[in-house]
């Protein structure tokens, strides 16, 4: 648990409470906490069985979330085009498919 707290502080900048008001600092900590929860869910659901299954938040942020891509939206689809040389394109696509399957399974009645 201590390693996860340190990971949250270092990788998601949860220790930056440099605003003048307590409310601003609290909001910043809420955002960092929510980012940590989302990245943990991404790691647990989307990145299972990939090389990023045990990656830290910083690694996931740098190698999967901070990439350049062309996003095209239409009425029915959102298309994401990555460079062919992107080293994380395959795990990114795997995570996108796993998250879509999880959302579809959650939305369908049991």
The per-residue pLDDT for 28 is: 79
Mean pLDDT by groups of 10 residues along the chain of 110 residues:
65 67 81 85 90 87 86 90 85 90 82
User: What are the Cα distances from residue 31, in Å, to 1, 28, 85?
Assistant: 20, 5, 32
User: What are the Cα distances from residue 22, in Å, to 16, 29, 83?
Assistant: 12, 11, 43
The per-residue pLDDT for 4 is: 65
The per-residue pLDDT for 73 is: 94
Whole-structure pTM over 0.85, yes or no? no
Structural element, H or E, at residue 69: strand 69-73
């Amino acid at each position: 648990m201590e390693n996860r707290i340190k990971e949250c502080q270092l990788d998601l900048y949860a220790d930056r409470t440099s605003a003048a008001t307590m409310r601003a600092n609290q909001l910043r900590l809420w955002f960092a906490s929510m980012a940590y929860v989302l990245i943990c869910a991404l790691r647990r659901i989307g990145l299972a069985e990939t090389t990023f299954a045990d990656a830290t938040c910083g690694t996931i942020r740098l190698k999967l979330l901070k990439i350049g891509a062309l996003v095209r939206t239409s009425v029915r689809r959102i298309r994401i085009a990555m460079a062919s040389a992107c080293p994380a394109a395959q795990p990114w696509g795997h995570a996108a498919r796993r998250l879509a399957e999880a959302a579809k399974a959650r939305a369908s009645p049991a």
